[in-house]
Structure 1
Amino acid sequence: MSLPRHALPEPDVLAGLPPVREIPADEVAARITGGPRLVVLDDDPTGTQTVADVPVLTAWTVDDLRWALRQDSSAFFVLTNTRSLSPADAAERNRQVVRALHEASAAEGVPYVIASRGDSTLRGHFPLETDVLAEELTAVGAGAPDGVVVVPAYIEAGRLTVGSMHWMRTAEGLLPVGESEFARDATFGYRASALPDWVEEKTAGRVTAGEVLRITLDDLRTSGPAHVAALLGTLRDGATAVVDAVCDDDLRVLALALAEAEDKGAKLLYRVGPSFVRARAGQSGRPPLTSAQLRPLRGDAPHGLIVVGSHVSLTTRQLDRLRERQSGHGNLAEYELDVAQLLDDARRDNHIREIAAAAATALETSEAVIRTTRAVVTGADADTSLAISRSVSAALVEAVRLVNAARRPAFVIAKGGITSSDTATHGLEIRRAWARGTLLPGIVSLWQPADGPAAGIPYIVFAGNVGDDDALADALDLLRSAA
């Protein structure tokens, strides 16, 4: 097998590791009972894909946050969608959430701890978000965090951290994330794959690699929770720790250690990938939803809508495979929102209306795909590129809103982080929902909207960078089986 320049066979990377310290999820659940509520500020909606039966908010008024704090759940998500925002707007949104959350917490008498959920391939506003959260927590009187704990692992998707090096699973082997296409992101690009070096790079040297506390698999597996809690207890003045993880048990050891450290007075802020949330919330991995479980959730229209905004190569391959599988069946209609027309003010509105009208009509006889032009259009700099992405995403959202007003789909699949966030909040006007589980193991979350025009329409959050080439087609097959 030919490997990319820095890819290694997975067994080679994992060779010689200490044996797993097995920790049942029930042990974590019992340990965190009565403790602070885990509030996950999710920079796009895909962080929910590792949990089940957890509340999700797309708004952060005090009333919304009080509703979430009253639910019988050890954690809940607040969809901030900050990965799609400018740095200034992302900072302000984080400040708004902390102020409202602190007021809601006082009103309900429920303490909280915050996890800033970023991408497992290290994209997002770091260290901006944790810096702002620390400042705002201090300002509202919650206390300055002693440390920021960075845990980007996403087990199901093969985003693993070993020896403080962060890897991603590919068909050719484990690849250091700094060598991946995600590291070349026009807005959030980076070069380092070792997390301490990445922290130094992203903080522009404010935090050096040598200052970062490294919590390794030896610490987690050999020494155990009490030892890791003692390490966490050494953090002061917002210092950074990075944590290895290869499996859920590693993260559950960490969860026990965090609970112990916090009981002893440590104030910690988390910057994490999706798998941390499941472990810290005391949940175990659950199998995907079945046809029988999906049937009462599915809308009563004959067919569903698929919205594709992600431009990563995996999404394009998944879309190609979906077409191949449907070839000859005649039950997939596809419509393209042309980026050139979307960026032309004179043509934009008519183009969106035409696409939406065609897709709504198609739902009577087939699933409908609305996608953007597959070629990525970027600007002269990161801010311009982000503005183009926002404009295109807004067009997708408007198309979804128009489709839903004309013909409510049986379900909606949104492919891509920004796409799925904007579709939820603006296209379907979801304010409160429950993440009910996944369509594929550990990926592709299904939300049940609790209110608004999308009530009764299952909403499927499908990240651009997860699954194999067949994942989109497999997800659609499962939804169709519930008809």
Structure 2
Amino acid sequence: MNENKRLAEEVFSLIKPVDTYAVDEILQKELQNLNKKIIVLDDDPTGVQTVHDISVYTDWTEDRIEKGFSENKSMFFILTNSRGFTFSETEKAHKEIAETIVNVAKKKNQDFIIISRSDSTLRGHYPLETKVLKETVEANLNVRFDGEVIMPFFKEGGRFTVDNVHYVKMDEYLVPAGETEFAKDRTFGYTKSHLGEYVEEKTHGVYKAENTLYITLESLRNLEIDRIEQQLLSVENFNKIIVNAVDYVDVKIFVIALIKAMNKGKNFMFRSAAALTKVIGGVSDKALLTREELVKEESNHGGLVIIGSHVKKTTEQLEELKQSDAVEFIEFDVHLVLELEKFEKETDRVVQLTNQLIREGKNAVVYTRRERLDLGEGKKEEELKLSVKISDAVTSIVKRLEVRPAFIIAKGGITSSDIGTKGLEVQRATVAGQVRPGIPAWKTGSESKFPGIAYVIFPGNVGTKTDLKEVVEMLSGKPILNR
């Protein structure tokens, strides 16, 4: 296992440095030539982990998409939460979204691009989502998509693409994504780390690795912008374009060539992690958020932390948080979902205790039982349906809060989406920024259950071992003491 891992320092030392100031200057000029509204479809709420002062809409009604088009910002996000959907639900949602985007774009006479933002460790409904978007837009608009750009690079989470292989940084090593726990995902698993081979695997051979177009680090670092533009101009028949990247400068150089190609009439669909959205949306860097920016009103109430993700990193962060005296823990035995009456009683117990702790000024940490519910082989859809029931119960904790917490943190993509949309009933939120690299915070809209509350969306697979503890400490405004 992990026999193909590489020492990160060695890999990065071989990559040619580049003048980032010169690249930034060219990029700024090129972004002014991009007269398209950028619509990012986010399959869970963590995709805003690189941006700030950007709107996130939690549904895709025509009114909501029209509002997004009318904003003076070049980009807005629509939270689909499709990673928690079945195949058919995903298909239906993406068809609806694409049709509505086309209707609004026609009404506004505005050009657009769609970015399908998904997991930086390659999990999600791929190739389904971009295929449905492509086919629906083409059927309703006089446009043809020439290619699909695939860029899972996400520096803040330690995801790098080198020599067309996608890696996850673990300690000092780069481990091929296909050899990590993420590749074993019961719903979205895969075996290939080479992105061309990943595409071939996921499309069942419809798109071959050997025919895929690769944008190399050498080409990017040598500033071969014209050459990359020519590569993009040559793409046809929705062929796939793999972009190698180890730093934001690689994304910037690629985007310069991309805008040039688009302005010559080429159309692309995008499947990317969060780095591309920041660069193509022209979003500036921003310092990490402070407590003063997030917790405006002094409250005697405690905060709420809900932990649903089961990845190894989340469990490590939970164990670290358990060393603190500033939080009270409630384990939610979600395995009782198999016995309805017992599950309802357990949910009631958790809700009652959560309200009590927050009212008493204590930070309540609700975490789901750590072992995964495993129904055995060939039960993917059944497991997904049970996980939706569990998610609904977790969400009901927030729905049934009788007191306003000082802050809310949700750990895990699907968990944070359901809490945002169903628990807090957010229709539109503004991304305030990040509390730690790759860990975003929303300010909820006036329509939500707790208007203007700081809602931290903590991805399951992001952050150091101590980040969760430190974020709780920062938002509490009180030191977390080790036992």
TM-score for both structures, normalised by structure 2: 0.94
1:94 alignment partner AA: H
Equivalents in 2 of 1:147, 1:68: separation in Å? 25
Equivalents in 2 of 1:282, 1:208: separation in Å? 33
**How far did 1:220 drift?**
1.4
Match of 1:445 among 440, 444, 448: 440
- Corresponding residue number in structure 2 for 1:289: 289
**How far did 1:4 drift?**
4.7
Specify the SS of the correspondent of 2:167: strand
1:351-366 residue pairs with structure 2 within 5 A?
351-363=346-358, 364-366=360-362
**How far did 1:395 drift?**
1.0
2:471 alignment partner AA: A
Deviations 1:299-353 (A, max 9, x none): 74522111110000110110110111x1xx3x31211221222332222223212
1:194 alignment partner AA: H
Residues 39 and 114, structure 2, Cα contact 8 Å, conserved in 1: yes
Residues 150 and 271, structure 1, Cα contact 8 Å, conserved in 2: yes
Q: Which range moved further: 224-233 or 304-313? A: 224-233
Alpha-carbon spacing, 1:450–1:41, altered in 2? closer, same or farther (3 Å): same
Specify the SS of the correspondent of 2:234: coil
Residues 333 and 359, structure 1, Cα contact 8 Å, conserved in 2: no
2:328 alignment partner AA: A
- Corresponding residue number in structure 2 for 1:19: 17
Residue 471 (1) aligns with residue 467 (2) = yes
1:140-155 residue pairs with structure 2 within 5 A?
140-155=140-155
Equivalents in 2 of 1:299, 1:342: separation in Å? 38
**How far did 1:55 drift?**
0.6
**How far did 1:18 drift?**
2.5
Equivalents in 2 of 1:149, 1:68: separation in Å? 23
- Corresponding residue number in structure 1 for 2:43: 43
Where does the alignment leave 5 or more consecutive residues of structure 2 unmatched? Answer: none
Match of 1:455 among 451, 455, 460: 451
Residues 295 and 406, structure 2, Cα contact 8 Å, conserved in 1: no
**How far did 1:215 drift?**
0.6
Alpha-carbon spacing, 1:467–1:147, altered in 2? closer, same or farther (3 Å): same
Specify the SS of the correspondent of 1:334: strand
Residues 439 and 478, structure 1, Cα contact 8 Å, conserved in 2: no
Residues 378 and 388, structure 1, Cα contact 8 Å, conserved in 2: no
1:254 alignment partner AA: F
Match of 1:435 among 431, 455, 473: 431
Residue 216 (1) aligns with residue 216 (2) = yes
Equivalents in 2 of 1:26, 1:287: separation in Å? 21
Deviations 1:445-464 (A, max 9, x none): 01011232131211111100
Alpha-carbon spacing, 1:411–1:73, altered in 2? closer, same or farther (3 Å): same
Equivalents in 1 of 2:147, 2:409: separation in Å? 37
Match of 2:330 among 331, 335, 357: 335
Specify the SS of the correspondent of 1:264: coil
Residues 43 and 80, structure 2, Cα contact 8 Å, conserved in 1: yes
2:327 alignment partner AA: L
Equivalents in 2 of 1:277, 1:96: separation in Å? 22
Alpha-carbon spacing, 1:204–1:477, altered in 2? closer, same or farther (3 Å): same
Alpha-carbon spacing, 1:310–1:253, altered in 2? closer, same or farther (3 Å): same
- Corresponding residue number in structure 1 for 2:237: 237
1:381-460 residue pairs with structure 2 within 5 A?
381-403=379-401, 406-441=402-437, 443-452=438-447, 453-460=449-456
**How far did 1:172 drift?**
4.5
Equivalents in 2 of 1:293, 1:192: separation in Å? 42
Q: State, as a whole percentage, how many aligned pairs show the same letter.
A: 33
Q: Which range moved further: 447-456 or 156-165? A: 447-456
Deviations 1:430-475 (A, max 9, x none): 010111100012x110101123213121111110000111010111
1:114 alignment partner AA: I
Residue 367 (1) aligns with residue 363 (2) = yes
TM-score for both structures, normalised by structure 1: 0.94
Specify the SS of the correspondent of 2:315: helix
Specify the SS of the correspondent of 1:76: strand
2:95 alignment partner AA: R
**How far did 1:30 drift?**
4.3
2:408 alignment partner AA: V
- Corresponding residue number in structure 2 for 1:344: 339
**How far did 1:29 drift?**
4.4
Where does the alignment leave 5 or more consecutive residues of structure 1 unmatched? Answer: none
Equivalents in 1 of 2:171, 2:338: separation in Å? 36
2:339 alignment partner AA: D
Specify the SS of the correspondent of 2:6: coil
Residues 160 and 166, structure 1, Cα contact 8 Å, conserved in 2: yes
Residue 5 (1) aligns with residue 10 (2) = no
Residues 162 and 244, structure 2, Cα contact 8 Å, conserved in 1: yes
2:139 alignment partner AA: A
2:333 alignment partner AA: D
- Corresponding residue number in structure 2 for 1:315: 314
1:110 alignment partner AA: Q
The structure 1 segments of at least 4 consecutive aligned residues displaced by more than 4 Å after TM superposition are: 23-27
Q: Which range moved further: 7-16 or 188-197? A: 7-16
Equivalents in 2 of 1:336, 1:384: separation in Å? 24
Residue 303 (1) aligns with residue 302 (2) = yes
Equivalents in 2 of 1:421, 1:29: separation in Å? 33
**How far did 1:253 drift?**
0.9
2:154 alignment partner AA: Y
